[in-house]
Amino acid sequence: MAQEIPNNIFCQHDHRGCRATAMRGARAACRAANLRLTPMRARVLEILLESHKALGAYDILARLRAEGRSSQPPIVYRALDFLVSNGFAHRLERLNAFAACAHAEDRHQPMFLICESCHQVAEAPLDRLGQDIFARATKLGFQARSPVVEVSGLCPACQGDGEQ
């Protein structure tokens, strides 16, 4: 079952700890499911985990090139496809970007809170709202597969900056 956001990302927290925990979880999940977390896939996930901001594929590609890794867009897109299809990352349509999954250990339907000012992204499970979306879709004869809710607004820090 999905859980609440540990260490609300909009507050100060030990980000090194959440990065390390996420990487350990991804490696363990790959071992358990007999998935191959290649060095490139792992590095792309590490890049996504470096901050709580969504990154576009070309942002990731630029980081890899800055590190001296020869990488082409198809390689990054394949790594992102693997991460998304296995629940380690999510695609944010509104931003045309990707974010590391905050709850990769649980299969869930995510909701994203996206700060319009600093571009931080918090993830929370949809829980009841997700169930309601599926129920309403079914009632209309629609077979929902993957509802994703993206909510834009201002995080606590940016609310204090007067940017509204």
* Confidence (pLDDT) at 52: 79
Pairing mode, if any, of strands 97-100 and 89-92?
antiparallel
* Confidence (pLDDT) at 1: 36
Asked if 161 and 115 touch (Cβ cutoff 8 Å), the reply is no
- pLDDT per position as a tens digit, 71-124: 788 999 999 999 999 989 999 988 899 999 877 666 677 888 999 888 888 888
* Confidence (pLDDT) at 161: 62
DSSP 20-49: HHHHHHHHHHHHHTT----HHHHHHHHHHH
* Confidence (pLDDT) at 14: 62
Note the pTM of the prediction, 2 decimals: 0.80
Q: Is pLDDT at 8 greater than 60 in this prediction?
A: no
Q: Is pLDDT at 3 greater than 80 in this prediction?
A: no
The domain over range 15-159 is classified in CATH as 3.40.50.1000: no
* Confidence (pLDDT) at 2: 38
- pLDDT per position as a tens digit, 28-75: 999 999 999 999 999 999 999 988 789 999 999 999 999 998 778 899
User: pLDDT band for position 164 (50/70/90)?
Assistant: very low
* Confidence (pLDDT) at 71: 75
Task: Answer positive or negative: Cα dihedral of 62, 116, 45, 19.
Answer: positive
* Confidence (pLDDT) at 42: 96
Asked if 117 and 161 touch (Cβ cutoff 8 Å), the reply is yes
Domains of the chain, by residue range, sit at 15-159
Query: Rounded to 5 degrees, what are φ and ψ at 152?
Result: -100, 150
